[in-house]
Amino acid sequence: MINNSEKFYDRLTFLYPIIDFFLKPQKHKFFSRINSCPYGRLLEIGVGNGTHFNYYNTHEIIGIDTSRSMLASARKHLKGNIRLLHMSGENLLFQNKTFDYVILSHVIAVVEDPEKLLEEVYRVLKPNGKVFILNHFTPNNWLKYLDKTFESLSRLFYFKSVFHISSLRKLEKFKLLEEFNAGLFSYFKILIYEKSL
Ligand SMILES: C[S@@+](CC[C@H](N)C(=O)[O-])C[C@H]1O[C@@H](n2cnc3c(N)ncnc32)[C@H](O)[C@@H]1O
């Protein structure tokens, strides 16, 4: 059965290129870092419309999304090393320890249950596998007031505007390797974690 978030992203597909335009510089930084890692099996959760696929130049990639419309759009940008599947990141149909890398680009504050997502990510990662997160996190500066103002509105758009790293308890199972700003007053961050043994 299609849930409301899926319906929302199905409808957003045609507008997503506008959002994507503003996210381009940070995605360039993010995917360059991912490309610099040794070749491996990579799972991207919530691939969206796939316009970033041209950034990938290494790895064997599986992209998943719950929105069929986003997946249809992503198919137009497919390259040889990428396969797409309709699947939820909160209920991954992969065996334990399948992937070297998991990518979460603007998806962790969108899924219904981020803790369930991280539990699944942990399960499918190989030992020493890495998870790359690109997302907004509510900083301790004036931007926190903006996030607070939009909190109730953001629920209508199926994302959490007030979002703190410290709220993600499941991240404690991982080891933080790198954290850097992806632009705009430390609002967008790139975080790289490793599955500890
Ligand atoms: C904000 S968009 C981000 C798209 C892309 N990753 C990007 O960085 O531009 C969030 C995407 O996650 C998808 N999504 C939402 N919940 C999901 C879930 N539980 N599992 C997989 N994908 C999900 C949505 O359909 C949408 O395509």
28 lies in some domain: yes
Asked whether the predicted pLDDT for residue 78 surpasses 80, the reply is yes
Q: How many domains, the chain?
A: 1
Cβ(84) – ligand 1 distance below 6 Å: no
> In angstroms, what is the span from residue 10 Cα to ligand 1's centroid?
11
Cβ(50) – ligand 1 distance below 6 Å: no
Distance from chain centroid for Cα 12: 17
156 lies in some domain: no
Cβ(10) – ligand 1 distance below 6 Å: no
160 lies in some domain: no
CATH at 170: 3.40.50.150
Percent of the chain at pLDDT > 90 equals 64
150 lies in some domain: no
Asked whether the predicted pLDDT for residue 138 surpasses 80, the reply is yes
143 lies in some domain: no
Asked whether the predicted pLDDT for residue 184 surpasses 90, the reply is no
**According to the per-residue pLDDT averaged within each range, which of 31-35, 95-99, 165-169, 177-181 is highest?**
95-99
Lowest mean pLDDT among 3-7, 53-57, 101-105: 3-7
Which atom of ligand 1 approaches the CA of 64 most closely? 21
Tally of CB atoms within 10 A around 192: 20
> What residues make up the domain containing 11?
4-106+114-135+165-195
> In angstroms, what is the span from residue 120 Cα to ligand 1's centroid?
15
Asked whether the predicted pLDDT for residue 189 surpasses 90, the reply is yes
* 3-class secondary structure per residue, 48-88: CCCHHHHHCCCCEEEEEECCHHHHHHHHCCCCCCEEEEECC
172 lies in some domain: yes
> In angstroms, what is the span from residue 83 Cα to ligand 1's centroid?
16
141 lies in some domain: no
Cβ(48) – ligand 1 distance below 6 Å: yes
Q: Which of 173, 178, 175, 172 is nearest to 192 (CA)?
A: 178
Cβ(66) – ligand 1 distance below 6 Å: yes
Which atom of ligand 1 approaches the CA of 67 most closely? 25
52 lies in some domain: yes
